[in-house]
Structure 1
């Protein structure tokens, strides 16, 4: 696997992880508020790019859980 393929796979994996975290948090919030489950399916990146604020909030951190 070339460096380009590895970097593309890494970016795709990070994108999917951010999306999954955001939708998971939205689902939990919707359940707590009694809203329909469809609310958690919201995903609206602009031109396929994740907003920096969203990436910061839902992206992985370097802190480990113990």
Structure 2
């Protein structure tokens, strides 16, 4: 696999992880208040990209465990 394909696969995996984290947190919040939400139909991505606001909110933090 060449470098461009590896970079693309890594970025796609990262976007999928962010999206899954966002959907799971939405589901947890909805269940806490007693609302039934279908997270699969919630997202409003353009061309498969997550918004920059959700990417910064649900992305990995810069803090490290010691």
TM-score tier, shorter chain, comes to: 0.7 to 0.9
Q: Structure 2-normalised TM-score?
A: 0.84
Unaligned runs of 5+ residues in structure 1 are none
Aligned to 1:64: 64
Aligned to 1:20: 20
Q: Structure 1-normalised TM-score?
A: 0.84
1:10-37: CA deviation from partner (whole Å, max 9, x where unpaired): 1111110011000010000110010114
Structure 1 runs, 4 residues or longer, greater than 4 Å off: none
1:7-63: CA deviation from partner (whole Å, max 9, x where unpaired): 01111111100110000100001100101142x332211122221111000111232
